[in-house]
Structure 1
Amino acid sequence: MFFDIGPLEMIALIILAVLVFGPEKLPKVVQDVTRFIRKVREFSDSAKQDIRSELGPEFKDFEFEDLNPKTFARKHILDKDELGLKEIRSSFDLRKEITEVADAVNGRESDPVRSTGTPAVAPPLAPSGGSDLLRKRESPAAQERPPFDADAT
């Protein structure tokens, strides 16, 4: 209701209002503002009731808060799991799928250690040449480190 106004900001607004309107006119200004807010709320409530009555019984569960896209998505997509999306989302491991696809494209065997999220070691590149690009890359020895490219980091 206070639009995330803290106590220090509230005190500053009160002091500013006293300075601008003066202590004599401040109660009248506060009454006018509260009366205006009350009339706006009454107008809003009556407009909502008119819209609900015009929509008919098909829209008896209609809430105006659903017009906010975030609220609509949360209510109709995330809360209702009619399609079993939560189960699918929890069983889907994107990193594992990406590494499997990358290994298949590069012609390497799937490594179970790499699917756990540890960084993969890239194989050394074959010498340049037309026919060498189609050959399967050799994997480095267990103790051998891959070449370091300072421009790539």
Structure 2
Amino acid sequence: MFNDIGPMELLTIIVIAVLVFGPDKLPKVIQDVTRTIRKIREFSESAKQDIRSELGPEFKDFDFEDLNPKTFLRKQLGNDDLGLQEIRNGFDLKKEMAEITDAVNGRDTGSSSSSSSSSSDAASPASGGKIDMTKKPEDPGKDERPPFDFDAT
């Protein structure tokens, strides 16, 4: 139950308990806490037994830890880290993000240039009014400056 508590944390808990309850009341508090934990465990075990008896003999090997989705998937899929290794191998996030960035910035990439159609209008009626993000925007000219807006500055 307390497998992840280190010795320093345990010592800290003991010191705080002594300060809060005092050395004369501490043994009684420890007994009450252990008794309560024991009753909770007995209650949960009896509830598990009742559920197993109600489910019938076909569920006699039913394990309640299987109700945890991660445990259930690990058991069903084997030890394949929930089947994520295949997804990780088939999907390169850096490559996908680079392609999206290039498409947004208007740079030509190998995969996006081959998938763009030969239509001259990116938002043509044939495309359903959708804007083709893979199409390179037309360059108005290197020397032209955009109009200066005095209200924006």
Structure 1 length as normaliser, TM-score?
0.54
| Deviation (angstroms), 1:56 | 1.0
- Give the 3-state SS of the residue equivalent to 2:4 in structure 1: coil
Residues 1-12 of structure 1 aligned to structure 2 (within 5 Å): 1-2=1-2, 4-12=4-12
Corresponding residue for 2:15?
Answer: 15
> What residue in structure 1 maps to residue 148 of structure 2?
none
Alignment-derived partner of residue 78 in structure 2: 79
Q: Which amino acid aligns with 1:36?
A: T
For each residue in 1:16-57, what CA deviation from the matched residue of structure 2 results, as whole angstroms up to 9, or x when unmatched? 111122211211111111111111111111110110111012
Tell me the CA shift for residue 58 of structure 1. 2.6
Query: CA separation in 2, counterparts of 1:24 and 1:41?
Result: 28
User: For each residue in 1:76-135, what CA deviation from the matched residue of structure 2 results, as whole angstroms up to 9, or x when unmatched?
Assistant: 2x3188xxx789658746559x8875353148xxxxxxxxxxxxxxxx86545xxxxxxx
| Identity in percent | 59
Q: Which runs of 4+ in 1 moved over 3 A?
A: 85-96, 98-101, 124-128
Q: Would the alpha carbon gap of residues 87 and 20 (structure 1) be closer, same or farther in structure 2, given more than 3 Å must change?
A: closer
**In structure 2, distance between residues paired with 1:13 and 1:87:** 41
- Separation in structure 2 between the aligned mates of residue 23 and residue 87 of structure 1, nearest angstrom: 54
Q: Which one of 89, 96, 115 corresponds to residue 105 of structure 1?
A: 115
In structure 2, the gaps of 5 or more residues are: 100-108, 118-135, 141-153
Work out the CA distance in 1 between the residues paired with 2:5 and 2:62. 31
**Bigger fraction of residues in helix:** 2
Unaligned runs of 5+ in 1: 108-123, 129-153
Q: How many residues align?
A: 109
- Aligned pair in 2 of structure 1 residues 67, 125: CA closer, same or farther (>3 Å)? same
Residues 34 and 126 of structure 1: CA distance in aligned 2, closer, same or farther (over 3 Å): same
Q: Which amino acid aligns with 1:32?
A: D
SS at match of 1:24: coil
Distance 1:48 1:56 in 2: 13
Instruction: Map Cα deviations across residues 59-81 of structure 1 (whole Å, 9 max, x no partner).
Output: 233211122222222222x3188
Match in the other structure for 2:58? 58
